[in-house]
Amino acid sequence: MRAPGPLPLHWTIFAINGAVLVVAALLLVLTPARVSTDPVRAEVLVIGVGLAVVLLTNALLVRWALAPLHRLIRRLDDIERLAPADLPEEGSGPVLGIARTVNALLARLSEERRAGDARALAAQESERHRIAQELHDEVGQSLTVVLLGLKQLEASAPASLVPELAAVRESARAGLDDVRRVARRLRPGVLEDLGLTSALAALATDFADHSTASVRRSFAPGLPALSPEAEVVVYRVAQEALTNAARHADAREVELSLGRQGASVVLEVRDDGRGFEGLAEGSGLMGMRERAALVRAELSVVGRPRHGTTVRLRVPVEEAP
């Protein structure tokens, strides 16, 4: 046997109106109240009061029946795009059916969005890998050839030209170092070769070498293994947080930590910079949120004016594939 489904909304309102009218008709039949063919003022007053009572009762009952629907609409307005929550399945009849249908739709949309983000981020990482490879193989090798040529040219050049050639050679060497640094940022090869902790340590060292801020890092031992996708998300969030600390926060000291809290691995980047009062959803923060949602992680960015900013990423271990 199949249980009957909830009544459509129009039938629910019809049932309420019908019940009110039936009760009013029974009152007219069973009570001594009567209306003559030539109604007097008292009878008109009784009819007016009765009609007002019927309308008020109908309005209260309809409002009571649709109250869960109005609460459902308010909850829909509060749903965040990147972290949709389940709606409360309350009420009965059509309202309960709407809540269940919307929850199923939200779950399906969330999975489709997560799959789409995964494909987009995978394509982005692949493009980063290709660009880094081209920078290393083509631009890097070309600059290396230039360096070797300048060094040979210095050996045979007149003494008056040696300082200028040396300056050009140093400029080319600095350009080669910049190309290698950009390639490392585009494709963290150490992440694939040595793991997440070593990649974060190298990232912190590179940040300290090219910034006026000092970096303190602390990594808890024995951390559980994450999926490759989750490791890339943790690395990219740390990279974006350090970049923001250098560009916007004017921080003098940054603390990078990776530890475990319960069934989650927690990344935290804390700086002592200028902080913020109202956080604007820029492309960097939106990118971090999208990456966090990809692996079902929780991202929080907390800052206070003149008291620094803290970026915390909590990655669940049990959901890592």
Segments in the chain forming alpha helices (H): 9-30, 41-78, 94-134, 140-156, 162-186, 189-194, 196-209, 228-247, 283-294
Question: CA 15, 20, 24: angle at the middle one, nearest 5?
Answer: 145
- Start-to-end CA distance of the chain, whole Å, equals 40
In a domain, 185, yes or no: no
User: What pLDDT, on the 0 to 100 scale, is given for residue 60?
Assistant: 82
**pLDDT class for 191, splitting at 50, 70, 90?**
confident
Last residue of a domain, one of 58, 80, 113: 113
Q: What is the mean pLDDT of the chain?
A: 77
Q: 10 Å Cβ neighbour count for 126? A: 11
Dig out the tokens for 67 from the structure. 């109250």
Give pLDDT, residue 315.
92
Q: Is residue 142 part of a domain?
A: no
- 210 shares a domain with 297: yes
Judge whether 84 and 109 are in contact, CB under 8 Å: yes
195: in domain: yes
Evaluate whether residue 237 is within a structural domain: yes
Q: Is residue 144 part of a domain?
A: no
Q: Tell me, yes or no, whether 85 and 211 share the same domain.
A: no
Do 99 and 203 share a domain, yes or no? no
Tens digits of per-residue pLDDT, 18-60?
Answer: 787 777 777 766 776 665 666 667 766 776 777 788 778 877 8
Domain presence at residue 246: yes
Q: What percent of the chain has pLDDT over 90?
A: 7
Report if residue 3 sits inside a domain.
no
Q: Both 196 and 321 in a single domain?
A: yes
How many domains does the chain fold into? 2
Tell me the angle at which helices 41-78 and 94-134 cross, rounded to the nearest 10 degrees: 20
More confident residue, 83 or 226: 226
Residue 261 per-residue DSSP state: E
Strand order through the sheet with 298-303: 214-219, 253-261, 264-271, 309-316, 298-303
The confidence score (pLDDT) of residue 89 equals 67
pLDDT digits (tens, 9 = 90+) for 207-232: 888 778 888 999 998 888 888 888 88
Q: Which of 98, 113, 128 is the last residue of a domain?
A: 113
Question: For the segment 120-143, what is each residue's pLDDT rounded down to a tens digit?
Answer: 777 776 777 788 777 777 788 888
pLDDT, tens digit, 9 for 90 and up, residues 50-66: 778 877 887 787 777 77
pLDDT at 82: 46
Sequence length of the chain is 321
**Within-domain flag for 124:** no
pLDDT 10s digits, 237-275: 998 888 888 777 677 888 999 999 888 999 999 888 877
Residues 200 and 287 in one domain: yes
Q: Residue 276 is part of a domain; what is its CATH number?
A: 3.30.565.10
Does the structure show a pLDDT above 60 at 280? no
My answer on whether 105 and 205 are in the same domain is no
Q: Which of 48, 78, 113 is the last residue of a domain?
A: 113
- Which structural domain range is residue 313 located in? 190-321
